[in-house]
Amino acid sequence: MDFMIIIKAIAIGIVEGITEFLPISSTGHMIIAGSLINFKAPAYPAEYISMFEVVIQLGAILAIVVLYWDRILNSLRNLAPGKWGFKLWLNVFVAFLPSAVIGLALHSAIQEKLFNPVTVALALVVGGFLMIFFENKYRRGNKTRNVDDMTLMQSFKIGCFQCLALWPGMSRSASTIMGAWISGLNTAAAAEFSFFLAIPTMVAASGLSLVKTSVSMDFMQILALAVGFVVSFLVALLVVDKFISFLQRKPLRVFAIYRILVGVIILVLALMKIVTV
């Protein structure tokens, strides 16, 4: 029996839980980590790896639902037109649409062409420089400090920026936060809206991937899937809380620098044939 798959599942689950809501790209890090520990095809079926990554992302999303459960529940109780819950989810829906439409159209091409360490590394570097530029230009002086005060135009701009995250390694969190800065949100409000937007975005993306994936699993693969889900959920619970505390004190530049350094290292490793494309 392949007991190593459990160890690898724990490792990838930790990577997903740490990176899903930080502006450093969870998908990119899973691709890179999977390449480094050989948690990829042909060591394991490509369909299984694809489904595993989807399922543990849902574990991280569940962490957001748990952490924001009271606010989500209250918003659903205030869904009548004119109430704050209706406005919140309308903004989320408007922000969700651009990436949903483009992602549905380009899903197969993205899976085929962009899911490799080199393209991820390039996205990490490009996204890192964009974060530094947009944070320096737009972060200070933004007046929207609460997601309840957002307009539909602000939501649409954020949604358009979220389309950048279709390039694995760019980061959904980073893309939406940059879009929020440009739209006039401060960093705390940008991160909170990014969390809410993650729920329909990741559920839809995961659902699409699962529908298009057909795979049979043995007992160890099923166990690894469950372990990865739980680990991702637990780690994300801890990380989101710490991330919010960090945003109240520090700029995001440290994450941008980290992205650039990791991207450059991966490109060097790829040139040395240590990381395979």
Has residue 26 been placed in a domain?
yes
Structure-token pair, residue 226: 């469950």
Angle between helices 172-183 and 152-162 (to 10 degrees): 150
Q: What is the pLDDT of residue 183?
A: 94
- The mean per-residue pLDDT over the stretch 112-138 comes to 92
- Residue 82 forms part of a structural domain: yes
Most distant pair of Cα atoms in the chain: their distance:
59
Residues in the chain: 277
CA–CA separation, 38 and 40 (whole Å): 5
Q: Torsion-angle region of residue 273: left (phi > 0), alpha (psi -120 to 50) or beta?
A: left
Kindly provide the b/e burial profile for residues 87-104, where b requires at least 16 CB atoms within 10 angstroms of the residue's own CB: bbbebbebbbebbbeebe
Q: Give the Cβ contact number of residue 58 at 10 Å.
A: 16
Look at residue 30 and tell me if it is in a domain.
yes
Over the stretch 193-247, which tens digit does the pLDDT of each residue have?
999 999 998 888 777 777 777 777 889 999 999 999 999 999 999 999 889 888 8
Name 205's Cβ contacts closer than 8 Å, sequence gap at least 6: 54, 103
pLDDT at 135 over 80: yes
Could you give the C-alpha distances from 64 to 90, 126, 131, 253, in angstroms and in order?
19, 27, 23, 24
Dump pLDDT digits (tens) for 30-44. Answer: 988 998 899 988 889
* Number of domains into which the chain is organized: 1
Q: Which domain holds residue 122?
A: 4-271
N-to-C CA span, the chain:
28
Q: Which residues pair with 185 in a beta bridge?
A: 144
- How far apart are the C-alpha atoms of 162 and 178, rounded to whole Å? 9
Q: What local confidence, expressed as pLDDT, does residue 51 receive?
A: 85
Closest CA to 24 of 162, 117, 128, 176: 128
- pTM > 0.85: yes or no: yes
Please report which confidence band the pLDDT of residue 1 belongs to, taking 50, 70 and 90 as the band edges: low
Residue 277 lies in a domain: no
Positions of E strands within the chain: none
The pLDDT value given to residue 275: 66
Q: How much of the chain, in percent, has pLDDT values that exceed 90?
A: 62
Residue 276 lies in a domain: no
Instruction: Please give the structure tokens belonging to residue 158.
Output: 């954020």
The SS3 of residue 144 is: strand
Q: Is the pLDDT of residue 50 over 80?
A: yes
